Structure 1
Amino acid sequence: MLEQFKNQIENKFSFLKESKLLVAISGGIDSVVLTHLCHQLDLNIALAHCNFNLRGKESDADEEFVLQLAESLDLEVFIENFDTENFAKDNKLSIQMAARELRYSWFEELSEQLGFDYILTAHHADDNLETFLINLSRGTGLEGLTGIPAINNKLVRPLLPFSREAIETYVKVKKLKWREDSSNTSTKYLRNKLRHDVIPVLKDVNPQLLLNLNNTLENLQESNYIIADAITKFYEHVVSISEDKKSVRLNIKEIKTYNYPKAYLYEFLKRKGFTQWEDILHLLDAQSGKQVFSKTHRLIKNREHLLLSEINKGESKPISISEKNKKIETPFGVLFFDEADSISEKQNNSIYVDKDKLNFPLIIRKREEGDVFYPLGMTGKKKLSKYFKDEKLSLLDKENVWLLCSGDDIVWVINKRADNRFKVTKNTKHILKIELK
């Protein structure tokens, strides 16, 4: 196996030979073998071990084993202890997902702080098969069936071509010691159930299973490249960014020119957390205002476009402005308040008002049901909802509108229209310029 590993490094990972490497080691058989192989090839490695404190004394024994292994090989070692259970509880994650997040965040932190070029993990061919079957059982797109990437930014997995059987044989031949994680024997986790109950049967039926899987993954990955090219062209023809850069617009007419619009929408939107693909497809012919939500994003039908935007929480709290404020930061920019001697050229991002007509503190807030204002340049009042309709604002545009108010009266529909009641006249003694930047 050492010779095969050496060839693997020479042919596919030659950049590792001149790099500073951090090896993720649990103390289990896979990471111990990876450590020994890298050490045999005299690669510049250090070890990183996570103690998740999930198995009491067994976790501490794993840590002690890694420390002794590092000492025996004269390697630098980093140990980090985590309160995994509380982290999982606080972040509403499963224990496995919490451990994964903690592990990779720490590896990345070590890498940045200490200048490691790459992080090596001991994933192998059987892990690839397990991941493939997990994604297949849960339902996934093509990307979920392309396997674990051998290189993913700083993460490198040089053991991917090797089977668990080959790793176990190497341990026996070299008489290496390693630690067994007792939780690996439990079949309450899907991965372990596949490992112990399903995969042995599949290998019995087809001894060439891992080899055939590798060929399949290569074919699927090549197909995925074709899809990526198609989505790039789809983006060029269909997608544009809104003027305020808060949403992405998808041209419905252009989408409908594609033979399989649902497939293109899936590939474009899948990383935004959407799952309701039939509902998204129906948006193409729905009335304006219809929406589909994921946990982080939403898609809105607005006339000839679908509007994609992030769901922003906690940005609608009213903001109070005292007479002493010269500037104030808001979720949509910075407002400046300056007294002026006269009115210069008017722009959408600024207004001039009669300061003596204002009642401080002013309030910045979102629109409310029944809001009315007196649009500058018009006679009489107008419902804000009617103004929005006349201006042909999308639902997303309406929700992003903020109002500057004096008491219950609207002074400015910010960046859109001032209110006639506060305009500067020949009797105005104090002019206040309000500008958004």
Structure 2
Amino acid sequence: MKAELKEHIDKNLPFLNHKKLLIAISGGIDSVVLTRLMKKLNFDISLAHCNFTLRGKESNKDEQFVIGLGEKMQVPTYTIKFETEKYANEKGLSTQMAARELRYNWFDNICKEQQIDYLITAHHKDDVLETFLINLTRGTGLDGLTSIPEINGNIVRPLLPFTQNEILVYAAKNKLQWREDKSNSSIKYVRNKIRHKVIPILKELNPSLLETFYQTLNNLKASQQIVKDRIQNVNDKVSTVHKTETHFDILKLKKLSDPKIYLYELLKNYGFTEWDDVTNLLDAQSGKQVFSKTHRLVKDRECLILSKISVKPKIPFTEIHKGTTQISVPINLTFETIDIPFDNKNHQKKIMEELVLNSPQAITIDADKITFPLTLRKWQKGDFFYPIGLQGKKKVSKFFKDEKMSILEKENVWLLCSNNDIIWVIGQRLDERFKVTESTCSILKVTL
């Protein structure tokens, strides 16, 4: 098994060579065999063991066993105790999910602190079959059926080509010691029920179950790649990126053979779960939204807009006092006052031509026409201003519509105001009433 593992790593996981590796070790046979093999192959390893305090003295004995193993092998060993049940109750998680969250967060911290390159886990062929069956019973797409990836970010599972039986034979041949977790024999958990009740029956029906399962799995992975290629092709046709937003063309989505499935494939990495609600956005009124924990999807006229949920605190308004040169909250603005000399009319005219600005990023205004403190606020229903270059006043909402701004773009707009009058729809348009004229004596330059 040692030679086979080395061959597998050299061929498929060569990036592990000469790297620092952290092995997640429970003390059970799988992780003990993995540790022994990686040590024998002269990898630079450390061990990390979580005591979830779920089995009383037995959990403590597991921890002591791992510490002893680390000392015997002369490798750095990290251990930690978790109040798993308390954490699960506080977070509203199952015990298993709480334990998973706790351990992987801790593993990440160790890797960062100790500058470790990869986390190594002892998953093997039988684990892949169990996970496949669990996901099959719960209902899943191809991602769930293709099960446990060998490489997932910095997590690597080099024992996936090996069966549980091969691991048992290696452990017996080398007279290894390990800890037996009695809870593994209990059918209280879904995985154990499948392991002890379902898989033995399947193996009776097909003694070569693992081999035929892996043939099926490889076929599924090939199909999955075809799907990925197709989704990428569709994504290129139906979506466009606008700064921090992605716009999906509704008309093009509706022309697809099954819009719901395509939406699932296009958006599954953004945490959405209510796929009927996502699909219903195609025919919803503008402004209708669906949220995940990290993103939101908004119907806006002829498109769906995907954006990351902002965690910035909501600031109703900010006052800008005379003499302020810069602010950074809620947006970055700089202020510069420039006095116009009157010693020479031609000189004055030239200076004015160079200074006058009216762009999305910077404006110049007549400083004598404003009253401090200025106010920076979000736009409100009923707001109006006099857009420079146009005749008369216009509602801000109508201006946004004419500029074909999306719902999310409107939400991110700030107004710079003097008293209740809008000076600048920031990033968009200056107000005619505050522009610089030939009679201007002092200019305030504002830059976004």
Shorter-chain TM-score tier: 0.7 to 0.9
Q: What SS is found at the alignment partner of 2:26?
A: coil
After superposition, what is the alpha-carbon deviation per residue over 1:189-212, rounded to whole angstroms, capped at 9, x for unaligned?
333333334333333333322222
Whether contact under 8 Å (2:247, 2:304) holds in the other structure is yes
After superposition, what is the alpha-carbon deviation per residue over 1:77-103, rounded to whole angstroms, capped at 9, x for unaligned?
223444555655665544433432333
After superposition, what is the alpha-carbon deviation per residue over 1:394-420, rounded to whole angstroms, capped at 9, x for unaligned?
222221212223343332211112334
Alignment map for 1:28-43 (pairs within 5 Å) = 28-43=28-43
CA distance in 2, matches of 1:102, 1:258: 42
Q: Counterpart of 1:107?
A: 107
- Find out whether 1:336 has 2:345 as its counterpart: no
C-alpha change, 1:344 and 1:301, in structure 2 (3 Å) is: same
Q: What SS is found at the alignment partner of 1:45?
A: strand
Q: What SS is found at the alignment partner of 2:356?
A: coil
Q: What SS is found at the alignment partner of 1:21?
A: strand
- CA-CA distance at 1:338 after TM superposition: 0.8
- Find out whether 1:241 has 2:279 as its counterpart: no
C-alpha change, 1:95 and 1:321, in structure 2 (3 Å) is: farther
- Find out whether 1:394 has 2:406 as its counterpart: yes
Q: Counterpart of 1:140?
A: 140
CA distance in 1, matches of 2:59, 2:372: 62
Whether contact under 8 Å (1:316, 1:366) holds in the other structure is no
Q: Counterpart of 2:290?
A: 292
Kindly provide the amino acid, as one letter, of the partner of residue 21 in structure 1: L
Q: Counterpart of 2:260?
A: 262
- Find out whether 1:50 has 2:50 as its counterpart: yes
Whether contact under 8 Å (1:21, 1:45) holds in the other structure is yes
- CA-CA distance at 1:31 after TM superposition: 0.5
Q: Counterpart of 1:208?
A: 208
- CA-CA distance at 1:68 after TM superposition: 0.7
After superposition, what is the alpha-carbon deviation per residue over 1:195-252, rounded to whole angstroms, capped at 9, x for unaligned?
334333333333322222211111111111112222222232222211xx12112233
Kindly provide the amino acid, as one letter, of the partner of residue 345 in structure 1: L
More off after superposition, 6-15 vs 53-62: 6-15
Kindly provide the amino acid, as one letter, of the partner of residue 390 in structure 1: D
Whether contact under 8 Å (1:47, 1:78) holds in the other structure is yes
More off after superposition, 26-35 vs 187-196: 187-196
C-alpha change, 1:423 and 1:102, in structure 2 (3 Å) is: same
After superposition, what is the alpha-carbon deviation per residue over 1:153-185, rounded to whole angstroms, capped at 9, x for unaligned?
332212213233333344344432222334434
- CA-CA distance at 1:306 after TM superposition: 2.3
Q: What SS is found at the alignment partner of 1:101?
A: helix
Kindly provide the amino acid, as one letter, of the partner of residue 434 in structure 2: F
Q: Counterpart of 1:224?
A: 224
**Which of 361, 364, 379 matches 1:367?**
379
- CA-CA distance at 1:22 after TM superposition: 2.3
CA distance in 2, matches of 1:135, 1:195: 14
- Find out whether 1:66 has 2:63 as its counterpart: no
Kindly provide the amino acid, as one letter, of the partner of residue 355 in structure 1: A
- Find out whether 1:405 has 2:417 as its counterpart: yes
Aligned residues: 433
- CA-CA distance at 1:356 after TM superposition: 4.0
C-alpha change, 1:411 and 1:191, in structure 2 (3 Å) is: farther
Q: What SS is found at the alignment partner of 1:338?
A: strand
Q: Counterpart of 2:307?
A: 309
Kindly provide the amino acid, as one letter, of the partner of residue 271 in structure 1: N
C-alpha change, 1:404 and 1:9, in structure 2 (3 Å) is: same
- CA-CA distance at 1:32 after TM superposition: 1.0
Residue ranges of structure 1 left out of the alignment (5+ in a row): none
After superposition, what is the alpha-carbon deviation per residue over 1:334-376, rounded to whole angstroms, capped at 9, x for unaligned?
1111112344232122222333443433332222233333333
Q: What SS is found at the alignment partner of 2:75?
A: coil
Whether contact under 8 Å (1:288, 1:303) holds in the other structure is yes
Kindly provide the amino acid, as one letter, of the partner of residue 405 in structure 1: C
Q: Counterpart of 1:274?
A: 272
Whether contact under 8 Å (1:27, 1:178) holds in the other structure is yes
Whether contact under 8 Å (1:316, 1:365) holds in the other structure is no
C-alpha change, 1:209 and 1:321, in structure 2 (3 Å) is: farther
Q: What SS is found at the alignment partner of 1:177?
A: coil
Kindly provide the amino acid, as one letter, of the partner of residue 63 in structure 1: E
C-alpha change, 1:433 and 1:41, in structure 2 (3 Å) is: closer
CA distance in 2, matches of 1:89, 1:435: 50
Q: Counterpart of 1:350?
A: 362
After superposition, what is the alpha-carbon deviation per residue over 1:13-51, rounded to whole angstroms, capped at 9, x for unaligned?
455454433221111221112112223334332222223
CA distance in 2, matches of 1:344, 1:40: 74
Matched residues, percent identical? 53
CA distance in 1, matches of 2:281, 2:404: 19
Q: Counterpart of 1:324?
A: 323
Q: Counterpart of 2:25?
A: 25
C-alpha change, 1:429 and 1:42, in structure 2 (3 Å) is: closer
Kindly provide the amino acid, as one letter, of the partner of residue 385 in structure 1: S
- CA-CA distance at 1:282 after TM superposition: 4.4
CA distance in 1, matches of 2:239, 2:409: 18
Q: Counterpart of 1:415?
A: 427
- CA-CA distance at 1:121 after TM superposition: 0.7
Whether contact under 8 Å (2:253, 2:259) holds in the other structure is yes
C-alpha change, 1:179 and 1:224, in structure 2 (3 Å) is: same
Q: What SS is found at the alignment partner of 2:445?
A: strand
Residue ranges of structure 2 left out of the alignment (5+ in a row): 340-351
- Find out whether 1:251 has 2:263 as its counterpart: no
TM-score (norm 1): 0.87
Kindly provide the amino acid, as one letter, of the partner of residue 338 in structure 2: A
Whether contact under 8 Å (1:354, 1:424) holds in the other structure is yes
